[in-house]
C-alpha cells in the first residue's frame, strides 16, 4: 500500500501540503477504520472527488504533454499518457507524434509569453533513452539526480504501466533492495530509477523543434 498512500493526497484533490489534519484525509481514514469497510472504499471515496483538480492547472495541453506555470515564472513540463490505442505513448511509431506534441506546446509558448521562460522538468522518465530523444541536448545536459522525492509521481510513476497496473519486476526489485536496508538513509537507492531534474531556456526548445 506504500505506493497508493503516497499519492492519495494529489489524486483525491487534497492538495500538496500533506496535512494529516485535512478534513478530506480524515474522512478517508475514518472510512478505512469504520464498520463495514471493504476493499472498494478507496475507489468509492475517489469517485466522490474525481472531478476535483489533482495537480497544478494546465496552461496548455498538446497530446501527451502539458505545462503549468510556477509561481516564480518558470514553465513546468508534465507528461501523461493520452493515447487511446492501448499502445505505449513512447512506442517508436508514436515518437513523431510526441515530437509534434512538444512542438505545438512550445509554439504556444512562443506566441503567448512575453519572453522565453525557463523550462523545468523532473521525472524518472528522463532515464529512458526513448523519452530523452524527444528533448534538446542542452536541456538533457542539465540533468541531475534529485533525492528524497518520496511524495510524488515523478518517482513513484515508474511502478505503474500505461494501464495503471503495477510493474511487478520493478516492484520486486524495489522490495528486495528495501529489505536489505537497515535505516532510511539508503532509501533513495532502493528505487530502480531516480528522479532527474532538468532546466533550460525555452529558446533551446524553439530551436530544437524549429519553431
Q: pLDDT tens-digit profile of 75-110?
A: 999 999 999 888 899 999 999 999 999 999 999 999
**Long-range contact list for 87-92, CB < 8 A, 24+ apart?**
88/162, 89/64, 89/162, 90/128, 90/130, 90/131, 92/130
Q: Is the pLDDT of residue 116 over 80?
A: yes
C-alpha cell at 3: 505506493
pLDDT band of residue 20 (cuts 50, 70, 90) is confident
Least confident range of 1-10, 31-40, 85-94, 106-115: 1-10
Tell me what the mean pLDDT of segment 57-78 comes to.
Answer: 95
Per-residue confidence band for 11, with pLDDT thresholds at 50, 70 and 90: low
**DSSP conformation letters of 131-146:** HHTTS-HHHHTT-EEE
This prediction has a pTM of 0.77
DSSP lists the bridge partners of residue 122 as 197
Residue 172 has pLDDT above 50, yes or no: yes
Looking only at the bridges linking them, the beta strands covering 65-69 and 60-62 are antiparallel
- Domain boundaries of the chain, sorted by first residue: 1-54, 56-208
DSSP 159: G
- Does residue 135 or residue 54 have the better pLDDT? 135
Amino acid at each position: 500500500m506504500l505506493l497508493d498512500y503516497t499519492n492519495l493526497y494529489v489524486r483525491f484533490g487534497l492538495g500538496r501540503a500533506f496535512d494529516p489534519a485535512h478534513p478530506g484525509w480524515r474522512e478517508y481514514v475514518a472510512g478505512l477504520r469504520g464498520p463495514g469497510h471493504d476493499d472498494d472504499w478507496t475507489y468509492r471515496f475517489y469517485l466522490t472527488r474525481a472531478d476535483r483538480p489533482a495537480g497544478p492547472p494546465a496552461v496548455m495541453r498538446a497530446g501527451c504533454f502539458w505545462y503549468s506555470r510556477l509561481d516564480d515564472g518558470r514553465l513546468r513540463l508534465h507528461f501523461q499518457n493520452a493515447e487511446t490505442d492501448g499502445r505505449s505513448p513512447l512506442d517508436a511509431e508514436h515518437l513523431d507524434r510526441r515530437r509534434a506534441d512538444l512542438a505545438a506546446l512550445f509554439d504556444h509558448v512562443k506566441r503567448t509569453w512575453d519572453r522565453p521562460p525557463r523550462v523545468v522538468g523532473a521525472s524518472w522518465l528522463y532515464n529512458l533513452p526513448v523519452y530523452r530523444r524527444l528533448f534538446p541536448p542542452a536541456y538533457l545536459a542539465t540533468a541531475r539526480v534529485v533525492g528524497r522525492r518520496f511524495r510524488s509521481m515523478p518517482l513513484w510513476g515508474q511502478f505503474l504501466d500505461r494501464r495503471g497496473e503495477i510493474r511487478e519486476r520493478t516492484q520486486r526489485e524495489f522490495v528486495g533492495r528495501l529489505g536489505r536496508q537497515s535505516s532510511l538513509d539508503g532509501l533513495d537507492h532502493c528505487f530502480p530509477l531516480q528522479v532527474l531534474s532538468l532546466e533550460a531556456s525555452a529558446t533551446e526548445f524553439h530551436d530544437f523543434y524549429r519553431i
